């Protein structure tokens, strides 16, 4: 099969002919029809993810059709249209037994713990636990966007953040996760303040339902701007970018008893990020993390997509080939662009 491969961190990736993925007893091999290009792929390529071993094929937000099925899989058959959360769970550890597949103790992540979906085929383990059926009405490109950024945003806003109608929700960083969060919070009836350095990203945020926008490139203190626009602070605030600056701004823009959800990854050399905990005490803030979303909670999200309340299709702003992917991966570092880029490996 053809795949995007890199042999050294930060060195240009290339499209190669590699061997097809290996089928496990509980797993499936999926023919990849669409796979999203995410900033996490760029972090992996840069060497920020300890799960990755070289050489490596990135790609973790995918949709496609089941090609072959392991002997211990009961629910899936060749030809089924499927997607997966980027965290694939074991289904049997105590955490999975409690329903928290998104933080499984033995999780696998395509494109991180093993070769991913910037390829014509990808192997996925524990298919009965992790696969999600993609309705005919949903295109593969849209379904691919669900797997990482949209589902991650859904859990952050709805499940962890508990966004409620009438509340102020601040979203710091309007890339794929952030724009998804804007759309989901607005659909929940919240009033959304979007914060980003890019006017294009803020234009999209406004289109997706943000009622206020803060241009961080011209606003030195974005937390103060959020406090002012919301009349005392957001009820819920997300750091959807993942940086010490946006994390602190998110916490500092909350009102009393507000909720901060950290959803953007925070890669740092020493593994720690300063958080304004004195404010967390004084204002009785909740500081929450959010990590993907369990496959078994997808139906509630898919129902809102089916009803047209949520429009993940609007997030897909460009579609590229496998051959164009190495350059696009490199560009994620400097110019992540607005919206979601989807790769079609068979185009």
Q: How far is the CB of 95 from Zn ion (least distance, A)?
A: 5
Nearer to Zn ion, 252 or 341 (CB): 341
User: How far are the Cα atoms of 76, 163, 254, 288, 334 from residue 224, in angstroms, in the given order?
Assistant: 51, 21, 10, 21, 27
Per CB under 5 A, does 40 bind Zn ion? yes
Sheet holding 168-172, edge to edge: 210-215, 191-196, 168-172, 234-239, 254-262, 286-289
Q: How far is the CB of 142 from Zn ion (least distance, A)?
A: 15
Nearer to Zn ion, 148 or 183 (CB): 148
Binding segment for Zn ion among 84-92, 185-193, 273-281, 316-324 (CB under 5 A)?
Answer: 84-92
Nearer to Zn ion, 116 or 276 (CB): 116
Q: Are 38 and 148 in contact (CB under 8 A)?
A: yes
Q: How far is the CB of 32 from Zn ion (least distance, A)?
A: 15
| CA separation for the pair 78, 141 (Å, rounded) | 20
Nearer to Zn ion, 15 or 38 (CB): 38
By CB under 5 A, name the one of 148, 157, 214, 248 that touches Zn ion. Answer: 148
Binding segment for Zn ion among 17-25, 148-156, 208-216, 225-233 (CB under 5 A)?
Answer: 148-156
Per CB under 5 A, does 38 bind Zn ion? yes
Q: Are 270 and 245 in contact (CB under 8 A)?
A: no
Instruction: Report 85-144 residues binding Zn ion (CB under 5 A).
Output: 89-90, 93, 96, 104
Token readout for 156 is 């952050």
Nearer to Zn ion, 75 or 217 (CB): 75
Q: Is 57 helix (H, G, I), strand (E, B) or coil?
A: coil
Q: How far is the CB of 18 from Zn ion (least distance, A)?
A: 22
Token readout for 27 is 């797993």
Nearer to Zn ion, 154 or 168 (CB): 154
Q: Are 9 and 58 in contact (CB under 8 A)?
A: no
Q: Are 293 and 151 in contact (CB under 8 A)?
A: yes
Q: Are 86 and 145 in contact (CB under 8 A)?
A: no
Closest-CA residue to 64 (of 102, 36, 26): 36
Q: How far is the CB of 265 from Zn ion (least distance, A)?
A: 9
Q: How far is the CB of 227 from Zn ion (least distance, A)?
A: 31
Site string for Zn ion, 230-259 (x = CB under 5 A): ------------------------------
User: Helices (H), strands (E): how many in the chain?
Assistant: 12, 15
Nearer to Zn ion, 49 or 167 (CB): 49
Token readout for 264 is 């953007």
Instruction: Report 305-344 residues binding Zn ion (CB under 5 A).
Output: none
Per CB under 5 A, does 265 bind Zn ion? no
Length of the chain: 347
Q: Are 205 and 198 in contact (CB under 8 A)?
A: no
- Looking only at the bridges linking them, the beta strands covering 316-321 and 191-196 are unpaired
Q: How far is the CB of 61 from Zn ion (least distance, A)?
A: 5
* # residues near Zn ion by CB under 5 A: 8
Nearer to Zn ion, 90 or 184 (CB): 90
Residues in contact with Zn ion by the rule CB under 5 A: 38, 40, 89-90, 93, 96, 104, 148
């Amino acid at each position: 099969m053809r795949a995007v491969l890199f042999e050294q961190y930060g060195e240009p990736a290339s499209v190669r002919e590699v061997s097809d993925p290996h089928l496990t007893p509980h797993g499936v091999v999926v023919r990849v029809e669409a796979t999203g290009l995410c900033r996490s792929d760029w972090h992996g390529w840069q060497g920020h993810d300890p799960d990755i071993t070289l050489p490596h094929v990135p790609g973790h937000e995918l949709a496609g059709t089941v090609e072959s099925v392991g002997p211990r899989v009961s629910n899936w058959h060749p030809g089924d249209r499927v997607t997966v959360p980027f965290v694939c769970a074991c289904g049997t550890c105590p955490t999975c037994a409690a329903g928290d597949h998104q933080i499984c103790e033995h999780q696998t992540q395509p494109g991180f713990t093993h070769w991913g979906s910037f390829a014509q085929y990808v192997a996925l383990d524990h298919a009965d636990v992790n696969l999600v059926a993609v309705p005919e009405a949903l295109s593969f490109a849209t379904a691919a966007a669900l797997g990482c950024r949209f589902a991650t945003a859904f859990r952050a806003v709805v499940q962890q953040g508990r966004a409620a109608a009438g509340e102020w929700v601040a979203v710091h960083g309007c890339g794929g996760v952030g724009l998804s969060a804007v759309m989901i919070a607005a659909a929940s009836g919240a009033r959304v303040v979007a914060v980003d350095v890019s006017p294009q990203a803020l234009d999209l945020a406004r289109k997706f339902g943000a009622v206020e926008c803060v241009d961080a490139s011209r606003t030195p203190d974005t937390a103060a701007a959020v406090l002012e626009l919301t009349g005392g602070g957001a009820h819920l605030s997300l750091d959807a970018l993942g940086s010490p600056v946006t994390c602190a701004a998110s916490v500092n823009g909350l009102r009393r008893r507000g909720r901060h959800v950290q959803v953007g990854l925070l890669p740092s050399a020493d593994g720690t990020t300063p958080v304004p905990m004195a404010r967390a005490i004084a204002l009785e803030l909740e500081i929450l993390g959010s990590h993907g979303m369990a496959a078994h909670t997808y139906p509630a999200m898919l129902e809102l997509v089916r009803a047209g309340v949520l429009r993940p299709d609007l997030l897909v702003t460009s579609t590229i080939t496998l051959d164009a992917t190495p350059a696009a991966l490199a560009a994620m570092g400097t110019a992540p662009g607005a919206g979601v880029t989807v790769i079609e490996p068979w185009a």
